[in-house]
Structure 1
Amino acid sequence: MHLHDLETPALILDRTKVDRNIARLRDRLAGLGVSLRPHVKTNKSADVARRIGEPGTPITVSTLKEAEYFLQHGWTDILYAVGIAANKFAHVQRLMQQGAQMTVILDNVASAQALAAFCKDQNLTLPVLIEIDCDGHRSGLVPTAPELLDVAAQLGRAKQDGGAWVAGVLTHAGASYDCDSTQAIVAMAEQERAGAVLAAQRLRDAGYAAPVVSVGSSPTAHFAKALDGVTEVRAGVFVFFDLVMNGIEVCTMDDIAVSVLCTVIGHQKEKGWIITDGGWMALSRDRGTSRQKTDQGYGVVCDVDGQPLQDLIVAQANQEHGVLAHRSGDPARTPMLPVGTLLRILPNHACATAAQHPAYQVVAGGQEVEATWPRFSGW
């Protein structure tokens, strides 16, 4: 099959770029002496995940549906990296009964008490990571919070105690996505590492085993200078990359492995608009680059081979229509590409864009489609 044979819009994945991106991070982390626990929430595909590591290698998920799917495909060591809610306890238990080695996270006494009671009642031994807030970005406890030991006190000190037990700490430097220089990412990576290590040491000093120190974001994973005291790194979007990652210089535009194929279906010449069949239902509404030095609209426009067309972006997106225009806003500078022209749009946020599609159409640097890899969505 050829790209011209596809019905648009379609999600295109360049396998050669995927493999290159994975090798880059694996080589880097090997040099720092830590293991990779990839976050599979971006790809949601066993075919993609196998490029990172064979079934049986550790993974991170953001939904229990992901855990279920990847367990069915052979992955058993699964970290559910969203604060656990009581209405998910039974689902976690079912996954463990089916062979999953689950780990969950939480950051408050109420959740810890509820989980401990459930595990005791069900005679379930479950490792728990306490979430640490290393940057004020989202959830978690700051490394020095007195509440850290209060949360831990609701849980067992080690695996042999049974029940829900303190397996360590987890943090995510989400603020790294807002960094405006490589130096800032380097500093954020050290802040992330130091915060997690400090929290883990406080737990150990209080008698908890806390063997796991889990950190990770794609920016910090690529720019950390040292990871002393860290046991594993989580990252997900590094497999595909996207325009947000390009905007903070974590990757080049040529590293972006995922794009949306669309077709020119008309023009509004007096406005300098090219109309395509790739609207926000195909691209997502994510406007993550709007806060960066270069606003890429809803995506960068490339030719069918994936080469960017200079200063042409998706300026507007309706549900099923994409509006392409020159980034200057000058109608005279928009090249009026013929109706029927195939284009590829590089996404702002790979996770959000991929979530709009049921499958990847896989290429290897050219226009020949060598495979279709299914993916899933939802909870």
Structure 2
Amino acid sequence: MINISDLQTPCLLLELRKLNANLDRMAQRVDALGVRLRPHAKTAKSIDVLDRALGSGTGGITVSTLREAEYFLDHGITDILYAVAIAPAKLATAADLMRRGADLKILVESAETARIVSTEGRRAGLRYKAFVEIDSDGHRAGVRPASAELLEVADALDGVGAELSGVLTHAGSSYHCDDTAEIARIAASEREAVVRSAEFLRQAGHSCPEISLGSTPTITFASDLAGVTEARVGVYMFQDLVMAGLGVCAVEDIALSVLATIIGHRRDTGAPIIDAGWMALSRDRGTSMQKIDQGYGIVCDELGAVLPDMIVVAANQEHGIVGRRDGGMIDPSLFPVGKRLRILPNHACATAAAHDAFHVVGPDGTVEAAWPRCRGW
């Protein structure tokens, strides 16, 4: 057994106790809402994490890349929803995954793509299972709920090379709310958009068995998911400062951090310089639009205790600058060269993306395991 003081920095730490608590909390939440949990693997990218998220069940997962789909199929998970609109050039990879045993669902958001998917499915002798993406909040992508455009997309899935498996949405605007009441309103709108779209398609003669939605904020604060079949959530496993700023979790629930070493000090302020810049922490500044700006992350001591009013105030590629929120002077003797610090991330997905593995740590700083993460597209 090694200690975190034996690890090279920067590296990614994962507190197993907090991870398990986050998983249990969301499992209970989804169960209370009466829907199926389809955890999103985009942050974890690790079978060790997803096995725990799925628990004793054999349910499906959500992925954001076909590389993730390949990785999890290699580890025995077959029920996979690829929740990014399919690029035509990726259909060959999707077909290969299906021939290897994946129950793969893909996503389309236009009649043009749906026609390509149907044509390529017929050519390959396969029937692609396709969800249609619904734009429930004008946030990013998808077709308007219960619209002529939606019906055109569904009609283009010809039933031979591709079939309509359901509708899907992600209320990304929930990440920009000012309070939990607003998140609850968005959650209600998210549900209404996909349920109404499914009913619209059924009335037009289409089978629409699955109604899929989710984000960690909306599932946390939804009061009613009637008509919905599954919830897709991912960052809940780890939580982060954006989630804490939204009221989704407490700072103490954040299971992920970056371990860094002090390598020097600013001459003008005494501010510690760490060996974790934006390559290790990410450039994500999601909290800058919230009531409390957390810079590039909250600073903790080596065992994870938050250092009051200390954040990473600036980041270069491989250098991070630790500072006080008020910009005041720091006594460098309190932060000697070689001292280890942990940084809590603004956005767990972006921070984790830089790292090859989670170093699983206990409350006493022992390193219990190293869990590899898959990377790439």
* TM bracket, shorter-chain basis: over 0.9
Residues in 2 aligned to 1:91 and 1:118: alpha-carbon distance in whole angstroms: 12
Residue in 2 that maps onto 1:131 = 133
Residues in 2 aligned to 1:256 and 1:334: alpha-carbon distance in whole angstroms: 28
> What are the residue-to-residue correspondences of 1:308-347 with 2, within 5 Å?
308-331=306-329, 336-347=334-345
Helix, strand or coil: the match of 1:271? coil
Residue in 2 that maps onto 1:75 = 77
Residue in 1 that maps onto 2:154 = 152
Scaled by the length of structure 1, what TM-score is found? Answer: 0.97
Give CA deviations for 1:316-364 in whole Å, capped at 9, x if unaligned: 1111111000011122588841211111000001011111111111013
Q: Percent identity?
A: 52
Residues in 2 aligned to 1:109 and 1:335: alpha-carbon distance in whole angstroms: 64
Across the aligned residues of Structure 1 and Structure 2, the Cα RMSD in angstroms comes to 1.3
Residues in 2 aligned to 1:334 and 1:241: alpha-carbon distance in whole angstroms: 31
CA change 1:110–1:155 in 2 (3 A) is: same
Select the residue among 191, 194, 197 that pairs with 2:195: 197
2:117 aligned with 1:115, yes or no?
yes
Helix, strand or coil: the match of 1:270? coil
Residue in 1 that maps onto 2:249 = 251
Helix, strand or coil: the match of 2:156? coil
Give CA deviations for 1:261-320 in whole Å, capped at 9, x if unaligned: 011111124224211111111111111111111111110000111111011100011111
Give CA deviations for 1:216-237 in whole Å, capped at 9, x if unaligned: 0000011110100000000000
Contact 1:272 1:330 in 2 (8 A): no
Residue in 2 that maps onto 1:225 = 223
Residues in 2 aligned to 1:31 and 1:287: alpha-carbon distance in whole angstroms: 33
The worse-fitting range, judged by mean Cα deviation, of 325-334 and 167-176 is 325-334
Contact 1:326 1:333 in 2 (8 A): no
Structure 2, unaligned runs of 5 or more: none
Residue in 1 that maps onto 2:106 = 104
Give CA deviations for 1:110-157 in whole Å, capped at 9, x if unaligned: 10111111111222122111100001110001213211111111114x
Contact 1:56 1:76 in 2 (8 A): no
Helix, strand or coil: the match of 1:79? strand
> What are the residue-to-residue correspondences of 1:239-278 with 2, within 5 Å?
239-278=237-276
Select the residue among 207, 232, 235 that pairs with 1:234: 232
Residue in 1 that maps onto 2:213 = 215
Contact 2:117 2:128 in 1 (8 A): no
Residue in 2 that maps onto 1:89 = 91
Scaled by the length of structure 2, what TM-score is found? Answer: 0.97
CA change 1:309–1:207 in 2 (3 A) is: same
